[in-house]
Structure 1
């Protein structure tokens, strides 16, 4: 996939996909009732060559800002993690704040995945995530 092929959703598209993901998450009643790992995915507007630059250094202020929003940003993977029980209130607060923060930082918010152990993730993202450890 080339950079031109990477889908870029609007905030409205992210929220709509998030609503569909929440409906699917609610079908896994036991896991949905407890806090689970959630990964937020990002891409660079202008790709960096990780062989020549240190993303941790480039995105240090982004990491600090994302921390104030309640997520831990891993610059080397362009992911931000949290443990949460997602619901509609969470969706309508978390996604717009990360979408805006990503835009301000020169990143593209690609969406989020709910990733409990031992099952495939449920995604509201332009990124396809597969859990190779689940059966």
Structure 2
């Protein structure tokens, strides 16, 4: 068994993204939001948790030059970057946005982990994730709260076992 993190090709991101878009509920544009997840290609616990991370130093001018309508959070450390866009995803949007972000990630030494649809309203709908390892949950939905409760219970039982 390999410890390697699964990745998708650009074609897989587009194909699977089209499938996810077909499942999305109707959400008013004012409340729509997508989060893009870019992760460090090499796991390095020594990276600073800030814009000072080496990959953020490379990515910031690339994001600036791309002039995308994004709010970018340069988290740093082992978490990478999250970029937010207020948009209702469509197939056309997917084919415009994803190739740019996959290319940007490649040039910055990051891995494009995918995107998630996380509207601000209604708060209780489940979030929709599109990436090989993305599993974003909404704490306001019953499914999301159950996932969070399971994670807490699992973490607590592991801590007690030690």
Instruction: Deviation per CA, 1:58-101: give whole Å up to 9, x if none.
Output: 31441342242222221214211111121111100100000000
Rounded Cα–Cα distance in structure 2 between residues aligned with 1:54 and 1:79:
13
| Alignment counterpart, residue 34 of structure 1, candidates 29, 34, 39 | 29
- Could you say which structure has the larger radius of gyration? 2
- Name the counterpart of 2:45: 49
User: TM-score under structure 1 normalisation?
Assistant: 0.83
- Name the counterpart of 1:81: 84
CA RMSD in angstroms, aligned pairs only:
2.0
User: TM-score under structure 2 normalisation?
Assistant: 0.70
| Alignment counterpart, residue 122 of structure 1, candidates 124, 128, 133 | 128
Which structure 1 segments of 5+ residues have no match?
none
- Higher RCO (Cα < 8 Å, 6 or more apart): 1
Of residues 114-123 and 98-107 in structure 1, the stretch that sits farther from structure 2 once superposed is: 114-123
- Name the counterpart of 1:20: 19
